[in-house]
């Protein structure tokens, strides 16, 4: 009896079929890019701190075939319509649809001296949109890999991540850090990426264990309306760094935290931000040490403390995220659980025993439904590989 295709295999099959239906020819290659979840290290990236993301098993697949002209045609297997534009006309601001991510990467490749021919493309994705799992970074990474392959060129993964980051800045208007693109392009299977956001260097951290995995629970709450709150936190961090006479809050150590908080002229908002950033950087390093030692319960306690700090000091959580984290933390299958991403909505991530994950999902789903009248989407993932190409 034939085996059932995995979700990733099913996505590849689906996008190839849709490509052939749309363009009456097969694709020449597939670019596969994962989503990502940040396990710990939140709201420290713009403070020069350390983050610990993982690539997830949910992915975006981009099927591509070259053209003989400079036209680019984009379609999605998930919704209708074809977007068409000239590969020679890539000015930022020309559109607000999802093709802006593709245009931004193509423009970056052109600036870097790469000649990318026109092409037909179709995407399919299993990355939840709006859950804070970097579906946009996955599209950028897949476009970069496909464009380089079509032009007969290559690029070091972190350099491509920087190019994709600039595309998001210039074409989507999102001043993101490097974490999303670096995780999508540089993660190795069974590893988390300990990324130094100031030095822009990273170390692979093992998370390959038969007993433990990551459970992602999407609250279903949009965080788009919280942009003003995000700007306030970031401004408070920058003001605190200036008051403390340091380039960024990364330079405040746990040993000097007490003195920093007691410095005259520090507002309550600045103290809260400093306390979160300094302790979160320390928690991230402590979590990495625990994971390397195989001590998942200790690592989980750092996740719990991270959520408390984001809730109480940084104040970027919400009722739904707090409910999910609290429900998960009281489950014996969970080492730790925290909100992940910018906050005010989005998802939680739990470090969970794989044999208890299904029961935990039901438990959270039932409790969440009783409280909020709906069920959160959730799935278990292992630490997945970064973006890659398949030539057909």
**Which positions are catalytic?**
180
Full DSSP string of 321-373 = HHHHHHHHHTSTTEEEEEEESSSSSSEEEEEEEGGGHHHHHHHHHHHHHHHHS
Q: How far apart are CA 219 and CA 69, in angstroms?
A: 45
| CA-closest candidate to residue 351, choices 318, 385, 307, 315 | 307
In whole angstroms, what is the distance from residue 268 CA to residue 265 CA?
10
Q: Give the closest residue to 387 by CA, choosing from 51, 169, 135.
A: 135
Measured at the CA of 68, the angle between CA 62 and CA 71, to 5 degrees, comes to 60
Name the packing angle between helices 99-111 and 157-172 (round to 10°): 120
Q: Are 252 and 263 in contact (CB under 8 A)?
A: no
Question: Encoding tokens for residue 22?
Answer: 């749309």
The residues, any chain, with a CB within 8 Å of residue 95's CB and separated by 6 or more, are 85, 103
283: helix, strand or coil: helix
SS3 state at 293: coil
Q: Classify 106 as helix, strand or coil.
A: helix
* Two structure tokens written together for 47: 């403070």
- Give the residue among 14, 105, 126 at the shortest CA–CA distance from 60: 126
Alpha helices (runs of H) in 83-134, residue ranges in sequence order: 99-111
Q: Which two tokens stand for residue 196?
A: 């130094």
Q: What are phi and psi of 212, to 5 degrees?
A: -115, 145
Residue 252 Rama label (left phi>0; alpha psi -120 to 50; beta): beta
């Amino acid at each position: 009896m034939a085996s059932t295709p995995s979700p990733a295999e099913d996505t590849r099959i689906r996008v190839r079929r849709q490509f052939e239906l749309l363009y009456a020819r097969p694709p020449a290659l597939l670019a596969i890019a994962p989503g990502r979840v940040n396990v710990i290290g939140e709201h420290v990236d713009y403070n020069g701190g350390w983050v610990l993301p993982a690539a997830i098993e949910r992915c975006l697949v981009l099927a591509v075939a070259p053209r003989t002209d400079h036209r680019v045609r984009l379609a999605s297997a998930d919704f209708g319509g074809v977007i068409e534009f000239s590969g020679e006309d890539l000015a930022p601001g020309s559109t607000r649809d999802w093709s802006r991510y593709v245009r931004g990467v193509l423009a970056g490749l052109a600036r870097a001296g790469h000649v990318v021919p026109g092409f037909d493309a179709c995407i399919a994705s299993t990355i939840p949109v709006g859950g804070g799992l970097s579906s946009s970074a996955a599209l950028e990474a897949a476009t970069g890999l496909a464009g380089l392959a079509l032009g007969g060129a290559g690029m070091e993964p972190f350099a491509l991540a920087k190019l994709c980051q600039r595309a998001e800045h210039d074409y989507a208007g999102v001043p993101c850090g490097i974490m999303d693109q670096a995780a999508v392009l540089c993660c190795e299977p069974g590893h988390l990426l300990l990324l130094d956001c100031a030095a822009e260097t990273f170390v692979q951290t093992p998370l390959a264990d038969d007993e433990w995995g990551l459970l992602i629970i999407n609250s279903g709450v949009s965080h788009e309306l919280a942009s003003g709150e995000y700007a306030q936190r970031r401004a408070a961090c920058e003001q605190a760094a200036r008051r403390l006479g340091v380039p960024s809050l990364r330079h405040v150590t746990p040993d000097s935290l007490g003195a920093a908080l007691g410095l005259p002229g520090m507002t309550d908002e600045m103290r809260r931000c400093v306390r979160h950033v300094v302790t979160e950087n320390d928690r991230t390093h402590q979590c990495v040490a625990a994971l390397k030692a195989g001590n998942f319960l200790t690592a989980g306690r750092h996740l719990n403390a991270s959520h408390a700090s984001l809730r109480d000091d940084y104040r970027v959580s919400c009722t739904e995220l707090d409910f999910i984290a609290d429900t998960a933390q009281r489950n014996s299958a969970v080492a730790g659980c925290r909100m992940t991403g910018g906050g005010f909505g989005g998802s939680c991530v739990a470090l969970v025993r794989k044999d208890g994950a299904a029961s935990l999902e039901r438990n959270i789903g039932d409790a969440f439904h009783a409280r909020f009248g709906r069920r959160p989407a959730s799935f278990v993932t292992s630490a997945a590989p970064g973006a890659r190409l398949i030539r057909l």
